[in-house]
Structure 1
Amino acid sequence: MSKANRKPIYFLPIFTLLVLIDLYVGSIGDDVMRHFTKPLILFSLFVYFAINGRRLGKPTYPLMLTALFFSWLGDAFLMYDGISSNYFVAGLLSFLLAHVVYAILFFRKRNMPFSRAFWFVLTLLVLYGAFLFFQIQAGLGALKIPVIFYVAIILLMALAAFGRKGSVPQYSFNLVFWGALFFIASDSILAINKFLIDVPYSHLLIMGTYATAQYLITRGILVQENP
């Protein structure tokens, strides 16, 4: 294994520790400390990729950094969504932009043929998106249109992740596609908790799946050029 391939592995224990600290701080309701622990998760990923992803070149390198930046911005805004709904909308918009950038990044490595598996995954994603929306729509109020748009974009991002199958190493495909699915899981739990019912241990579930998603995608992009 080359040195370039070994270096990112050393980051995982640090990242895991940061996530565990944030999960603990969130579970005890220490909002002051969360102003430090939550942003550190994406900041660490940003630095990690900034150092290890330079060899990927343009446009992969700047696109990935942009997606991580918008994700970090979304995290920052959502910390204040209890103060005003405007912060939630700003967080939604930030993550929407992150998903758009991710989708562009994934589509660049798409495998052109539309196989049966592609259409099967597309159908499942659309059915799931429709099911989720109809479950939470009563609690959305004025956010119905923005949420519809957001759901469509995150599903498109996941479809773009699946579209990489066959054009990148299987390891990279698995990491990115599972990362996209974890992202959908995280956003689904967040939406259900906010607009439908209180989900037990919602903080642990949302942040755990979210951090996993971001790490898997980042790691998957880092190894996509490996033979």
Structure 2
Amino acid sequence: MSFKSISFLLGYIIIVCIDLLCGYLDYQEYRLLTKPLIVISLMIYFGIKGKHLPKSIYEYTVLAMFFSLVGDTLLLFDNRSPSFFMFGLMSFLLAHIGYTIVFIKQRNTKYSKVSWIVSIGLVTYGIALFSLIIKDLRGLMIPVSIYIIAILTMAITSQNRMGNVSRQSYILVLLGAFFFIISDSILAIDKFHVSVPKAHFLIMGTYAISQYLIVNGLLASIDQNIKEN
């Protein structure tokens, strides 16, 4: 890891810690800056370091981060109106679609046994999570079910990059996708099923890790001979 990468990581950790502290102290007015700054910092970092990626991969990644930023901002106001949660959900849905397109462009067309096992495991997990919260979804059952399908698709396509990108890139992106699922699972359980202790720390902590891993995983594929599909 280069000095610039280490410097960014330290700065990123500081930003995330400040946001976690503001959430813990319920300083929501400060979170209007600290929460969006998490993805904004990643967008700047990726914008500078990712210029050598294939154009479509670069653009769709930036687009995915942009919709993540919009979603982060909208969810800051979800306690004011259900509409903010709905639009925030839609924004992250578009973010997952963006990441999915990127992963598909880097996919390995040979689907291994491991890929099938992981895919089946993810689908099974998604069904179990949906079954857990379905009674409390009410009017949000369709939007949430669509969202679950989208994030599972994102994770499935992330693990189908094996053999077509560097090992480092593959592992980082796959872990990032898993952390994204963990973050959203905690959020869903806390919002629709039962209150989760320290939910803010768990949701934002795993979310920040997921975005960092995905972005750095894609940057790690720069030196790989990736063919656009």
TM norm. shorter chain > 0.5: yes
Q: Which amino acid aligns with 2:129?
A: L
| Separation (CA, whole Å) in 1 of partners of 2:30 and 2:92 | 23
> Residue in 1 aligned with 2:146?
149
Give, in angstroms, the shift of residue 225 of structure 1. 2.4
Q: Which amino acid aligns with 1:145?
A: I
Structure 1 residue runs of 5 or longer lacking an equivalent are none
> Residue in 2 aligned with 1:74?
71
**DSSP-derived class of the 1:132 partner:** helix
| Contact 2:50 2:222 survives alignment (8 Å) | no
Structure 1 range deviating more: 109-118 or 197-206: 109-118
> Residue in 2 aligned with 1:91?
88
- Normalising by structure 2, we get a TM-score of 0.95
Q: Which amino acid aligns with 1:213?
A: S
Give, in angstroms, the shift of residue 8 of structure 1. 3.0
* Superposition pairs of residues 60-209 of structure 1, within 5 angstroms: 60-209=57-206
Q: Which amino acid aligns with 1:61?
A: Y
| Separation (CA, whole Å) in 2 of partners of 1:54 and 1:225 | 9
Query: How big is each residue's C-alpha offset from its partner over 1:146-181, in whole Å with a ceiling of 9 and x where there is no partner?
Result: 111100010000001000011100000000000000
Q: Which amino acid aligns with 2:214?
A: I
| Separation (CA, whole Å) in 2 of partners of 1:61 and 1:135 | 37
Give, in angstroms, the shift of residue 75 of structure 1. 0.1
| Contact 1:161 1:176 survives alignment (8 Å) | yes
Give the counterpart of 2:14 among 17, 22, 28: 17
Give, in angstroms, the shift of residue 6 of structure 1. 5.3
| Separation (CA, whole Å) in 1 of partners of 2:3 and 2:118 | 33
- Normalising by structure 1, we get a TM-score of 0.96
Equivalent residue pairs, number: 224
| Contact 1:154 1:184 survives alignment (8 Å) | yes
Query: How big is each residue's C-alpha offset from its partner over 1:193-225, in whole Å with a ceiling of 9 and x where there is no partner?
Result: 000000000000000000000000000001112
**DSSP-derived class of the 1:54 partner:** coil
Give, in angstroms, the shift of residue 60 of structure 1. 1.2
| Separation (CA, whole Å) in 2 of partners of 1:204 and 1:79 | 15
| Contact 2:97 2:150 survives alignment (8 Å) | yes
Structure 2 residue runs of 5 or longer lacking an equivalent are 225-229
| Separation (CA, whole Å) in 1 of partners of 2:174 and 2:96 | 13
| Contact 1:8 1:52 survives alignment (8 Å) | no
Give, in angstroms, the shift of residue 36 of structure 1. 1.0
| Contact 2:52 2:222 survives alignment (8 Å) | no
Q: Which amino acid aligns with 2:66?
A: F
| Separation (CA, whole Å) in 2 of partners of 1:225 and 1:18 | 26
**DSSP-derived class of the 2:52 partner:** helix
| Separation (CA, whole Å) in 1 of partners of 2:56 and 2:70 | 21
Query: How big is each residue's C-alpha offset from its partner over 1:41-66, in whole Å with a ceiling of 9 and x where there is no partner?
Result: 01111111111111113111111110
| Separation (CA, whole Å) in 2 of partners of 1:213 and 1:94 | 17
| Contact 2:23 2:200 survives alignment (8 Å) | yes
Structure 1 range deviating more: 187-196 or 111-120: 111-120
**Runs ≥4 residues deviating over 4 A:** none
Identity of aligned residues (%): 46
| Contact 2:63 2:98 survives alignment (8 Å) | yes
CA-atom RMSD in angstroms? 1.1
